[in-house]
Structures are given as C-alpha cells and as structure tokens.
A = this chain, B = another copy of it.
C-alpha cells in the first residue's frame, strides 16, 4: 500500500475525496493493530524477552499464526529475533526500540479504556435497535 501522503502532513481535518487517503492513519493501523500483533507487542513490552513457546502460551495462539505474525513484526522492525545454536534449540524474541516507541500509543489507548470503556458497555446494554449479523 503506497502512502500518498508525504511531507506536508498536517493531522488536521483537510478535505480529501480520495478513499485511499481519506484516513491517513490507516497504514499505521494495519501495521500495529493487525490480528495478534497488539498482544504480542504488549507481552514483549511487559515481560521482556520471550521464547516462542512462552508467547504461544501467554497469548493463546497457534504456532502457525504466531510464526506469521512474528515474521511480519520482524520484517517491520518492531521485533528482534535471536537464534541460539544450542541443543535443544532456543529462539528468543525481543521488542526493538522502534517497537517500544509505540508505548505512547498503547498508553493513550489504555487511558481511554479506563475512562470510557464503561460508557461503551452501557451504550451496548441500552441499545435496542436491529443487530445485523
């Protein structure tokens, strides 16, 4: 996905009729909030370096999917993978500096959750309209 928005980015509302650039933060959202990526980054941030099986158990995800996500995160520079040529083999995953720079985003999210998640649940409980799906 080419991000057409270059240097002159102001995060203020600006008329934009092109669906591709209608939501300028979409690239980051895809990057950080793809399925399982948030739990992975969170656990690595909270508990430090983890082995494969530790992540698997903590997060509750199958090895196949975990591998997919870890590769993606490694490719994007958010996670560092380290292999130790031992017997039995050992592979450790650590969050990178780039990855931990997301803490501000996660913090904002956590604060919003503390402040407003109850409102959402109240709204859900009070909602009577048609539920599609």
Count of residues in A whose CB is under 8 Å from the partner chain: 68
Is A84 part of the contact surface with B, judged by Cβ < 8 Å?
Answer: no
Taking CB atoms, residues of chain B closer than 8 Å to A107 are: 11, 108
Determine how many copies of this chain the complex contains.
2
Interface of A, secondary structure class, is helix
Taking CB atoms, residues of chain B closer than 8 Å to A116 are: 98, 101
The minimal Cβ–Cβ distance linking A32 to chain B, given in whole angstroms, is: 8
Is A52 part of the contact surface with B, judged by Cβ < 8 Å?
Answer: no
**Pairwise interchain contact A74-B129, C-beta atoms closer than 8 A:** yes
Taking CB atoms, residues of chain B closer than 8 Å to A120 are: 31, 76-78, 98
Taking CB atoms, residues of chain B closer than 8 Å to A31 are: 120
Closest to A39 in B: B23
For the complex of A and B, list the 3 residue pairs with the smallest distance between their C-beta atoms, beginning with the closest. Answer: A77-B123, A19-B60, A13-B46
Residue contacts A-B, CB under 8 angstroms, 12 given: A9-B114, A14-B46, A15-B47, A17-B58, A22-B39, A22-B59, A28-B113, A68-B133, A71-B130, A102-B112, A105-B108, A108-B108
